[in-house]
Structure 1
């Protein structure tokens, strides 16, 4: 059980080396996107992350490539929808930053 590991000062790399799985790590408090990104950096593949409880959008935000998410078992239509949403959000962000004169 890794529930007290975070409070005790252990980090993700140590717990992974000790054989702790993604589901246990999430239960111990490493359940945010930054933790998912760190797990990706440590070599945890998208499939293990998915089965550990991370959502498709969380994994994409953590830096997993669309191809890795597809290999992890997420459907092509779901990934296409995620990409459309991300494109719309990016377009909205860029529109916000245009000076008022350029929008006219």
Structure 2
């Protein structure tokens, strides 16, 4: 969408205002949500069981413990909640990348 067609609304001194949003044309939706609209692509972990499990699994993944039974249990929970979320494939690729790096 062309940037002149998007305005960021803001509340300032008890008045509704707006400002232009730069660099929107051809941008990915996720980047627009974050930069132009000021929201996260995912809900907070305290609201979303999937995001809570994702954060928990990332701790296992980054510490090299993604193959532990506890990590697999968390991963299974994520798959049950949202089996088609693209982050599941990304996590698998990252797990393989980290394993290859460790040798």
Both structures adopt the same fold (TM-score exceeding 0.5) = no
Q: TM-score range by the shorter chain?
A: 0.3 to 0.5
> Which entry has the higher C-alpha Rg, 1 or 2?
2
TM-score, length of structure 1 as denominator length? 0.32
Kindly indicate which of the two structures has a greater share of residues assigned to helix: 1
Kindly indicate which of the two structures has a greater share of residues assigned to strand: 2
